[in-house]
Amino acid sequence: MSEAPILVTGGAGFIGSHLVDALLAQGRSVRVLDNLSMGKRANLALDNPSLQLVEGDVADAALVAEALAGCQAVAHLAAVASVQASVDDPVGTHQSNFIGTLNVCEAMRQQGVRRVLFASSAAVYGNNGEGQAIDENTPKAPLTPYAADKLASEHYLDFYRRQHGLEPAIFRFFNVFGPRQDPSSPYSGVISIFTQRAQQGLPISVFGDGQQTRDFFYIADLVEVLLQALLAPGVVEGAVNVGWNQAVSLNQLLAEIGNLFGGLPPVSHQTPRPGDIRHSRADNQRLQACYRLPAPTPLRDGLRQLLGLA
């Protein structure tokens, strides 16, 4: 009797498709629910009989219930990951970024599925903790509908834990990068944009002086953590930051990219993005205490993998 599948919402996307690959490599069966609004079929090994793609919207409660039927656990990654899109269309993105989570919780309650991995974001901290390592007790200050939907989702998952026995594993990702991160939007992850433009010899725009810092986390390292959270016997209560507690400035990032290409296309400095956070770095003591972490993939190695130079 084959093992019950694991449902990965958003599984055709950047992070989701790498998690799907890892689950398949472990011999697991996987069901993906994705509306392909950003995700791509090409990100999935659809010729693998252990993988099933259900194309549809997590805002559709009946479809979520159908996709969940017979599954043993859920990795809930589906969301409109663009902060700007939530500012432009708070009602539309709310359907994906909050109602989707509520539909997953409700379907799990009705079907007795307990383990759910949830992708929250450093965005829930807003500007709080700016300049120091941000820990999970840092006061929350969601500045955008994207951040508010992530924080609300966390609270609903905790309600379903207390009231209905769900086992949520909640992660606040800082800045994840790697192959398949889509650079197509001006609001895509900065590493996906900078590397694509360097590869194509196109000018690079830095919003600000380039001294702003981020805590970059390579996708392969993240997947090792997500697999533990999804499959381990116990679940860690409360949210866990995902970062290396390492601040890398955009100027340092550009220097690394320049080293790989033997130079850079023209770099211009534009006005800073409104609401941009200057320094973001994760206090990751809880992550270290609760999960077996790989040695961090150095930024240069991650860039080489991303660029197919490794």
Quick one: 60 or 135, whose CB is closer to ligand UD2?
Answer: 135
Give whichever of 29 and 35 is closer to ligand NAD, judged by the CB atom. 35
Q: Which is nearer to ligand NAD, 94 or 161 (CB)?
A: 94
The distance of closest approach from Cβ of residue 89 to ligand NAD in the complex, given in angstroms and rounded to an integer, is 12
Half-sphere exposure (Cβ direction) of 293: Cα atoms closer than 13 Å = 17
Quote the least distance from Cβ 242 to ligand UD2, whole Å.
10
Q: How far apart are CA 3 and CA 166, in angstroms?
A: 20
CA atoms within 13 A on the CB side of 225: 33
Shortest Cβ distance from residue 183 to ligand NAD (Å)? 11
Nearer to ligand UD2, 23 or 85 (CB): 85
190 binds, among ligand NAD, ligand UD2, none (CB under 5 to 8 A by kind): ligand UD2
Q: Please tell me the distance from the alpha carbon of residue 161 to that of residue 157, in angstroms, as a whole number.
A: 6
CA distances 107 to 10, 18, 112, Å, are: 17, 25, 8
Is 291 catalytic? The answer is: no
Is the CA virtual torsion 256, 259, 265, 267 positive or negative? positive
- Contact residues toward ligand NAD (CB under 6 A) are 10, 12-16, 34-39, 57-59, 77-81, 96, 100, 119, 121, 173, 175-176, 182, 189
Q: Do 252 and 185 form a contact (C-beta atoms < 8 A)?
A: no
Contact 60, 103 (CB under 8 A): yes
Among 146, 156, 160, 218, the one annotated catalytic:
146
Whichever of 96 and 280 has its CB closer to ligand UD2, that residue is 280
Q: Give the shortest CB-150-to-ligand UD2 separation in angstroms.
A: 8
Measured distance CA(198)–CA(239) in Å, rounded: 36
Residue 10 binds what, of ligand NAD, ligand UD2, none (CB under 5 to 8 Å, by partner type)? ligand NAD
Task: From the list ligand NAD, ligand UD2, none, pick the one residue 207 interacts with, judged by a Cβ distance below 5 to 8 Å according to partner type.
Answer: ligand UD2
In whole angstroms, give the CA distance from residue 278 to residue 268: 18
261 binds, among ligand UD2, ligand NAD, none (CB under 5 to 8 A by kind): none
Alpha-carbon span 72 to 114, nearest angstrom: 8
> Across the chain, which distance is largest between two alpha carbons, in Å?
59
Query: What's the closest the beta carbon of residue 182 comes to ligand UD2, in angstroms?
Result: 10
Q: Is 51 or 119 the residue whose CB approaches ligand UD2 more closely?
A: 119
CB of 35 to ligand NAD, least distance (A): 4
- Report the partner that residue 205 touches, choosing among ligand NAD, ligand UD2, none (CB closer than 5 to 8 A by kind): ligand UD2
38 binds, among ligand UD2, ligand NAD, none (CB under 5 to 8 A by kind): ligand NAD
Quote the tokens at residue 3: 């093992």
Residues within the interface to ligand UD2 (CB under 6 A): 81, 83, 121-123, 175, 187, 189-190, 193, 205-207, 212, 214, 250, 273, 276-277, 280
How many C-beta atoms surround the C-beta of residue 302 within 10 A? 23
DSSP 237-290: SS-EEES-S--EEHHHHHHHHHHHHTS---EEEEPPPTT--SB--B--HHHHHH
Which residue spans within the chain are E strands per DSSP?
6-9, 30-34, 51-55, 73-76, 115-121, 167-173, 175-177, 204-207, 213-214, 216-218, 240-242, 248-249, 267-270
Give the residue numbers marked as catalytic. Answer: 146
